[in-house]
Amino acid sequence: MIPSLIALLFGLLIGSFLNVCIYRWPRDLSVVRPRSHCPACEKTIAWYDNIPLVSYALLGAKCRYCRARISLRYPVVELLTGLLFFYFVRALGATPAAAKMCVFSALLVGLVFSDLEELILPDELTLGGVVLGILFAIFVRVPESLPSFALIVLTHAELTGRAQWLTEAVFGAALPAFFLWLGGWIYERVRHREGLGLGDVKLIAMVGSFLGLSGALFTLMLGSIAGSVIGYGYIRATGKDASNYELPFGTFLGAAALVIALLARTLLGS
């Protein structure tokens, strides 16, 4: 239980940092300088006003100086990240596998809320996540998705152990991303308007690097179904024009990937 509680506290801190990334990266701002400040009055936030969850509650969700309202997104991101860290360490123990899933979930939380707010999926999280997923594959097994004969055809060698994990991560990132990009390219050629952003392609590549080909495909299916159903319902309820409404598809993909990650043992056998 103690490792899980430590993971919870660490997740709250990571969630606080994610809030900085969610606000700054889509605006091409540094996450290092300047120090955290109120977007409304630009006053620097003191450390005691920047304690995850606690400061939000003590301040009554308002800036200490100008009383501007603090977005609910801040405590939600912190709490969600903390709970995800707690769950993975509780389920997997203090292991490299738990560290991998904690990093993966943190990346997804940042992407979900960034796309929801700004319709942007920062490269720092998507492409950076692909690199991290492939690096983790050196130490932690990636769910097997490609049959042995397919691996031999693709690599011209029979792979086992870490070499197989690494190959699963690379092809898990590349293949779904390529076919998603291809689908978007065909749609654009037929409809003469963009139907899919490259950020979504990079996101699914990141998912595949962590969860392998099967995890990426499950994510695509679940995210597409959820996006279609919820997106259609939202358009009907708000009276928006379906022909030009830009759906935050990355949010649905990211949320679907979180669900797949939580159910990885059952769905992927990992």
The better pLDDT of the pair 208, 247 is held by 208
Per the confidence metrics, is the pTM higher than 0.75? Answer: yes
Classify burial at 137, counting beta carbons within 10 Å of its beta carbon; exposed 0-12, middle 13-18, buried 19 or more: buried
Pair 188, 195: CB distance under 8 Å: yes
Whole-number mean pLDDT of the chain? 89
Distance of CA 252 to the CA centre of its chain: 10
- What average pLDDT does range 233-256 have in this prediction? 82
How many Cβ atoms are within 10 Å of 63's Cβ, its own excluded?
18
Listed by start position, the domains of the chain span 1-94, 95-270
Instruction: Give pLDDT tens digits for 19-53.
Output: 999 999 999 999 988 888 888 888 889 888 899 99
What confidence tens digit (pLDDT) does each residue in 92-140 have? 999 999 999 999 999 999 999 999 999 999 999 999 999 999 999 999 9
Burial class (CB in 10 A: 0-12, 13-18, 19+), 116: middle
